[in-house]
Amino acid sequence: MKKTSKKKKGLFMNKRSFLYYGELETPVGPISLVSTDQGLCRIDFGNVRDLTSLWNNWKKKSFLCGEFIKNEDKVFEAKCQLEEYFHKQRTAFSLEFDLYGTPFQRKVWKALYDSTPYGEIQTYKSLAESIQAPKAIRAVGGAINKNPISIVIPCHRVIGSNGSLVGYNGGMDKKKYLLHLEEAPITQK
C-alpha cells in the first residue's frame, strides 16, 4: 500500500479542497470512485446519485470539509486499473491511497491489501493473527466491513473459518462474482 506522506490524514483538508468523483460501469454494476489530490479514498458499488448520503456521512465522520466535484481525470488511473482487473489483465493494483479510518482499521486494511493476493483467500481469524491480534477476530471483521476501497483492498477474499462466504457490503452476488473471476479456491457452503 503506497503512502503519500507521514502527515495525519484528514487534518489538512480545507474549504478549498475537493473530493473528486467519477463512475465506472462494470460486470457487477456501476462503481463510483472518490479521490483527493493525495490519492484514492473510496470505491463503492452503485451510482453517485445513490451514494450521496453515504458519502456525506463519511465526509462528516472523517472530519473532511472538501467539496465533491465530478472529475473523471482524477479517478482515471483507478478506473483503468479496475477495467483491466475485470478483463483479467491485472492481478494487482498500483494506486496512491488517501484512507480515512481509525489506526486499527488502517492496520487491518493494510494487512488485507499486503497479504491477500489475487485468487487467494484467507479467514478473518488468519487476518487477525497476521496483525498480532488473534483474539480480535470480530474487530477485524468490523474493520473489513468499513473498508472504503472495495475490490482494490480485497475484502471479498476474506471468508469464514469454516470456509463459508460470509458478509460483503457489496452483496454476496458480487463477492461470488469477484472470487469466481479470480478463480479463488472456494467451495460454496
pLDDT of residue 135: 92
Write down the CATH number for the domain with range 103-181.
1.10.10.10
Residues of the chain where predicted confidence (pLDDT) is lower than 50: 2-16, 189
Please classify residue 29 by burial: count the beta carbons closer than 10 Å to its beta carbon, then call 0-12 exposed, 13-18 middle and 19+ buried.
middle
Query: What would the grid cell of residue 38 be?
Result: 493525495
Residue tagged active-site, from 41, 65, 80, 155: 155
What residues does CATH 3.30.160.70 cover in the chain?
A: 1-100
pLDDT of residue 93: 94
23/46 Cα distance (integer angstroms): 9
Contacts for 103 with CB less than 8 Å, ≥ 6 apart:
none
Give yes or no for a contact between 18 and 110, defined as CB atoms under 8 angstroms apart.
Answer: no
Secondary structure (H, E, C), 8-24: CCCCCCCCCCEEEEEEE
pLDDT of residue 11: 39
Q: What is the DSSP string of 152-167?
A: TS-GGGEE-TTS----
Beta bridge partners of 149: 43
What residues does CATH 1.10.10.10 cover in the chain?
A: 103-181
Cβ count within 10 A of residue 100? 20
pLDDT of residue 152: 95
31/28 Cα distance (integer angstroms): 8
Q: Which tens digit of pLDDT belongs to each residue from 126-160?
A: 999 999 999 999 999 999 999 999 999 999 999 88
pLDDT of residue 15: 43
Q: Which H or E run includes 60? A: helix 48-61
Query: Catalytic site residue 65?
Result: no
Secondary structure (H, E, C), 81-146: HHHHHHCCCCCCCCCEECCCCCHHHHHHHHHHHHHCCCCCCEEHHHHHHHCCCCCCHHHHHHHHHC
CATH topology of domain 1-100: Double Stranded RNA Binding Domain (3.30.160)
